[in-house]
Structure 1
Amino acid sequence: MDQVSELPAKLSKPAMRAFTHAGYLKLEQFAGLTEAEVLALHGVGPTAIVLLRQALAEKGLAFRK
């Protein structure tokens, strides 16, 4: 069974609130989204994208193109 990963701890509070409100609680969920879709969430900025991109890459995942 694959282990589900938590979101990066360094994400800002506004980004974490946006993800929680949208139902994105696990890192793997972001592999089904484009960067633009994530950036469209209120409270999410470029730093969050960089942190998520790095965390996804560590798991062999990436944002959807």
Structure 2
Amino acid sequence: MTDLPKLGRPAASALAHAGIASLEGLAKLTRNQFLALHGVGPKSLPIIEAAMAEAGLDFAQK
């Protein structure tokens, strides 16, 4: 089971391809690294940021 929020198919596939199956795994990436994943677009960012904030997580700084 994953704690990732529901995203569009391209973004969900991009995370799966990168081996990211949780918000904790996503927190290891910087915001720019997340946005650079093929299939992730600007619509995914607020959804991910809200889910991470709710879990007390944020993107890595470097």
Q: Give the TM-score normalised by structure 1.
A: 0.84
Aligned letter for 1:53?
E
From 29, 32, 43, give the equivalent of 1:36. Answer: 32
Larger-gyration structure (1/2): 1
The 1-side partners of 2:2 and 2:48 are apart by 11
Instruction: Give the unaligned 5+ runs of structure 2.
Output: none
Alignment pair present for 1:18 and 2:14: yes
Q: How many residues align?
A: 61
Calculate percent identity across the aligned residue pairs. 46
Q: Is the 8 A contact 2:28 2:60 kept in 1?
A: yes
Say if 2:20 and 2:26, in contact at 8 Å, map to a contact too: yes
Q: CA RMSD in A?
A: 1.4
TM (normalized to structure 2)? 0.88
Q: What is the CA–CA distance in structure 1 between the aligned matches of 2:2 and 2:58, rounded to whole Å?
A: 14
* Shift, 1:6, TM fit: 1.4
Q: Structure 1 runs of 4+ off > 4 angstroms?
A: none
